[in-house]
Amino acid sequence: MNIASPLFAWLRRPNRWPVFARGLRRAPIYKGPGNFLRSNRAGHVAKYVVLGSNSFSGQDFIDLMLDQPGAEVIGISRSPEYPDYRLRYRERAELSYYRFAQFDMNKDNAELLAFLDAEQPEYIVNFAAQSEVGPSWIHPEHWFETNTVALAKMVNHLRQRDYLKRYLHVSSPEAYGNCAGQVVTEETPDNPSTPYAASKSAADMLIKTYQKEFGFPALFVRATNVYGARQQLFKIVPRTAIYVKLKKKLTLDGGGVAVKSYIHIRDVSRGELAILKDGRIGERYHLSPSDGIAVKDVVRIIVESMGARFEDMTEMGPERPGQDAAYVIDSSKARNAFGWRDEISIDQGLSEVGAWVEANWQEISAASLAYEHKA
């Protein structure tokens, strides 16, 4: 059955386009597959789809991809495209090789798969997921519906198509559980301690099964605590800077003693691109700094760099359920395979976050700092 024909007939019907690709802006007019400004670029043009394009990691990866010669990028998210201050690629003067389309992996699954068949991307990078830890205890079924069930439908569909060359799945080291006191490599068994972590571990196992049985061209990446400008405002790094400006005390879960491996988003995006291009199909790769740092020490750096006292701006709170004592994973495999290195220091990265908050304070001060769960 030719899916593309009914798809485009459906698109031509009145009032259908806003539902199909809501939020499309500053982008070339859609003319169907194969007409994405190919005449403007010499040589082979590769098409990339980034699922979860509104995510903190997705938007930065898109920005990096738009620097690559011969790359055409389509971002897909379940929400309308975010405001410009949340999207690094929106700072570009030229966006001719980027488009945005809105699909919900759960609610618009059939339409999403038809869209992929029509576009026939050679590469897919999947950031789309329910990703918060604490709320996953309240409605664990929502995490599995998105992170595992909807994913299963997509992977089973794609493995029956011949256009996809590589699929990079963005996983999470939280699937390992508590990493304290051990060297965690890509071969370390999963031992998840939250519904979120369990759903991500299940997703990896599912995709790996399809890779082994059908040759599905999957690669896997697990990066540690990613941070940087444009991160969700409820996350600890931007929230600290915002609270200092508001002169509001920040509650540190468990006193902030948990050790994290904070890594700048651009270092992670560079690693993900290296894995997508040169990684071995079926392999998992870690992206992490060499050392961990306690949450309270990260908060202290931010607070003191903004001219406030740590003791005045923080208070201790109880630990959240399932909080692992440390996330320190070994990234030797990526370092040796691709020559990848984390290049942006914690001081430099945190300074960048503070500058971003200052520069966009009007928008940020009017935005909600609370996590808003969407099923």
pLDDT in tens, 224-241: 999 999 999 999 999 999
Percent of the chain with pLDDT over 70: 85
Domain boundary assignment for the chain = 4-231+262-290+329-345
pLDDT at residue 325, as a whole number: 56
Q: Is residue 281 scored above 90 in pLDDT?
A: yes
pLDDT at residue 322, as a whole number: 53
Distance CA 261, CA 294 (A): 9
Distance CA 298, CA 289 (A): 14
Segment 338-365 shows an average pLDDT of 96
- Exposure of 318 by Cβ count < 10 A (0-12 exposed, 13-18 middle, 19+ buried)? exposed
More confident residue, 61 or 20: 61
74 beta partners? 49, 99
The answer to whether the CB of 78 falls within 8 A of the CB of 72 is no
Segment 135-150 shows an average pLDDT of 92
71 beta partners? 46
With bands split at pLDDT 50, 70 and 90, how would you rate the model's confidence at 318? confident
- Comparing 78-82, 121-125, 130-134, 338-342, which segment has the lowest mean pLDDT? 130-134
Q: Is residue 26 scored above 50 in pLDDT?
A: no
With bands split at pLDDT 50, 70 and 90, how would you rate the model's confidence at 5? very low
With bands split at pLDDT 50, 70 and 90, how would you rate the model's confidence at 370? confident
Q: How far is CA 207 from the centre of its chain?
A: 18
pLDDT at residue 136, as a whole number: 87
pLDDT at residue 312, as a whole number: 95
Average pLDDT, the chain: 87
pLDDT at residue 33, as a whole number: 40
Distance CA 26, CA 148 (A): 33
Tokens 């670029």 belong to 41
Tokens 């996983």 belong to 171
Distance CA 365, CA 374 (A): 22
Q: Give the H/E segment covering residue 220.
A: strand 218-223
Segment 143-172 shows an average pLDDT of 97
pTM: 0.87
Distance CA 268, CA 55 (A): 14
301 contacts: CB under 8 Å, gap ≥ 6: 346, 347, 350
Distance CA 130, CA 373 (A): 9
| 98 three-class SS | strand
Q: Is residue 43 scored above 90 in pLDDT?
A: no
Q: Is residue 16 scored above 60 in pLDDT?
A: no
With bands split at pLDDT 50, 70 and 90, how would you rate the model's confidence at 328? confident
Q: Is residue 39 scored above 70 in pLDDT?
A: no
Segment 336-344 shows an average pLDDT of 97
The answer to whether the CB of 18 falls within 8 A of the CB of 101 is no
Distance CA 325, CA 344 (A): 25
How many residues in total does the chain contain?
A: 375
Assigned CATH for 4-231+262-290+329-345 = 3.40.50.720
Q: Is residue 327 scored above 90 in pLDDT?
A: no
46 beta partners? 71
pLDDT at residue 191, as a whole number: 93
With bands split at pLDDT 50, 70 and 90, how would you rate the model's confidence at 34? very low
Q: Is residue 82 scored above 50 in pLDDT?
A: yes
